[in-house]
Chain A
Amino acid sequence: MSQDNNGLPRWADVLLIPVINICLALLVSGLIIIAIGEDPIEAVQILLYGAFGYDEALGYTLYYTTNFIFTGLAVAIAFHAGLFNIGGEGQAYIGGLGVGLVMLWLGPVLPFWMLFILGIGAAALFGAAWAYVPAYLQVYRGSHIVITTIMFNFIASALMVYLMVNVLIEPGQMAPQSKQFAEETFLPFIHEIVEAFGGEMVHTPLNISFFWALICCVLLWLYIWHSRWGYELRTVGFNEKAAGYAGINYKKVVILTMCISGALAGFVGINEVQGVHHRLILNFTAGYGFTGIAVALMGRNHPVGIVLASLLFGILYQGGAELAFEVPKITREMVVAIQGLVILFSGALALMIRPAVEKLFRQFNRRPAPVAQEA
């Protein structure tokens, strides 16, 4: 994340390079589709139709987008402090547990607006707690946050299986799921809101947590770029030693950042548990935590980029479901493979394309071309 642009104009850095990397990832995905004997152009058409083409499509796309915004923001804020939080999956899982516990115990008692606030609070608290331990261990015991958060994903998964099978299971049921929450706890679906105003809309899982995700984007933007804490956070990310000399408490920043990151990941639980399933189930996180890594890398760790990247992955998820339905040879896991390729090209191989583009621009600039460019 160096500021040294090597003669690269800002728009190329922010827009051109990410787009090239995504195109490379999609190109390889196209080759895979050709390899299994299908037509990639047709696949893209079906995918886009699946994501936008019919009435329910957009709602589903935005419902997936909601999850990716949360996990993408979670990974991004950690990146800004120079931390890699792979534990989004586990934090989302535990955050959902927090939401579920609140709804199960207080569901029938309290009014909705209190439940809504308590749900957000519980998701944040549980998610943050699950991120706090690795952060604490990194800062005070010197263990590596990457390894600890990976381990915590597995521990979260084992814990949830135990709780669902032995404790929270609905009595008399075989499937490991809790009983349904009281109806007062359900987050309003967007189609319900539209209907309340006399409009008409097809039923989709899209609910008001989508707006909470957008609010989180704004809050995070303010926090990282327009607050004292954010300044400290970015300073630690650039150079933790220098930050220390400047009087910034490195330990505090790491722990606070990881807690915010965990809380953001935990909000997936709001959308999934309180918004859609209305009960605790196993594996409701479905890999969204890992998708957050791709989203953050693709969105260059900026809220605007993250919303766009989340939308793209929402399209891929929803369109991918349609694609799997229409073309049996291409399964939903194709989206997972694309996700891996995106992480590869815009993350691990980010420096592959960059020098070439820089060289191109330097050659271009050496000529007295009358192109006025800012920065």
Chain B
Amino acid sequence: MTDLFTVIVLTLDATLRVATPLIFCAMAGLFSERSGIIDISLEGKMLAAAFVAAATAAVTGSAWFAMLAGMTVSVALALLHGLACITYRGNHVVSGVAINILVSGLTVVLGIAWFERGGTTPPLQADARFMPLEWPLAETLGQIPLLGTIYKELLSGHNLLVYVALLIVPLSWWVLFRSRFGLRLRAVGENPQAVDTAGISVAFLRYRAVIICGLLCGLAGTYLSIAQNASFTRDMTAGQGYIALAAMIFGKWRPGTALLACLLFGLLDAVAIRLQGVPLPVVGEVPVQLIQALPYILTVILLAGFIGKAVAPKAIGMPYVKER
């Protein structure tokens, strides 16, 4: 009984760790897409930030500098996306694909040229990373059965960015649904003409949205390379940007539900590792690849309207041209 309980708590603990970059990226995508800019370059921005953060941490030895650098490069890419989509009215998807491909090549090229380790950055010391934070009395309270285990294993012992990710969600909700900026941002994604008529710049609003998107993707990348891991490895995002995109869609473009989707996808990932080769009752042994593909399959099913209906912002993907 307690064994099973411990396994569950540990799995949830792993879920939280796996879901953190998804949460950052899903919120990032939310800001971008709510303003009408399709962003499939979450993956690329996260990968770029992961590389730059790890490289900066390796050179300067400061986790904070690394985070700053990671976020800067991610915002730069977001602005490039903005330039293509907002100013030059390019195809959002094409621009996103371009950024993803560019980054996946460039991080390896620069990584090998600068560090000569086959694409990885040098391993980081503890003070150059975001290390797990022990909550007060975790060891003592951990002795208490059930609640103590939850406190020690699940709540305590994560790094700073995990908690930041969890705080970003209510913050995103507040900004998007309770602030004036958020109202305008959502309006520009639904009906840019109306926003323009009200005398508010569509382009400036959308640029601010993609900058926020860049900042959050930067945090996701920083988390991957200097908090969850101790170095950058080539293609370390491994499609998580797309899973986050799927989670955002699965959450129907809302922060709370997107968070749940991230946790669900994170749980699937955590469970997939545990279930490898374990026969389950009724269904037998489930192929680990099926569980890994489940986020994508679920998203396809959801988008097809078989579980509820996911409706994208109305003006998404459409360039805005001011009528003269």
Contacts and interface: CB of A to CB of B under 8 A. Distances in A.
Interface string B89-108: 11101110111111111101
A336 B93 contact: no
A335 interface: yes
A216 to B, nearest CB: 23
Contacts of A294: 101
Contact of A137 (B99, B304, B312): B304
Interface stretch (B146-154, B162-170, B255-263, B287-295): B287-295
Interface string A340-358: 1101100111111000000
A3 B66 CA distance: 48
A121 B119 CA distance: 40
A155 B296 contact: yes
Contacts, number: 156
Given A147-B249, A154-B296, A334-B105, A343 B304 contact: no
Interface stretch (A8-16, A184-192, A229-237, A325-333): A325-333
Interface string B111-131: 011100001000000000000
Given A331-B108, A347-B94, A144 B312 contact: yes
A241 to B, nearest CB: 15
Contacts of B312: 144
Interface in A269-311: 290, 293-294, 297
- Which secondary structure characterizes the binding site on chain B? helix
A151 B304 CA distance: 12
A249 to B, nearest CB: 21
Which 10 A-B residue pairs are closest in the complex by CB-CB distance?
Answer: A340-B102, A336-B105, A337-B105, A348-B95, A143-B303, A158-B293, A340-B101, A36-B113, A343-B98, A344-B98
Interface of B: 38, 40, 80, 83-85, 88-91, 93-95, 97-106, 108-110, 112-114, 119, 239, 242, 245-246, 249, 287, 289-290, 292-293, 296-297, 299-300, 303-306, 312
22 contacts: A36-B110, A36-B114, A86-B93, A137-B304, A141-B305, A147-B245, A147-B299, A150-B40, A151-B246, A151-B300, A155-B297, A158-B292, A329-B112, A331-B119, A333-B105, A333-B109, A337-B101, A337-B102, A348-B88, A349-B88, A349-B90, A350-B88
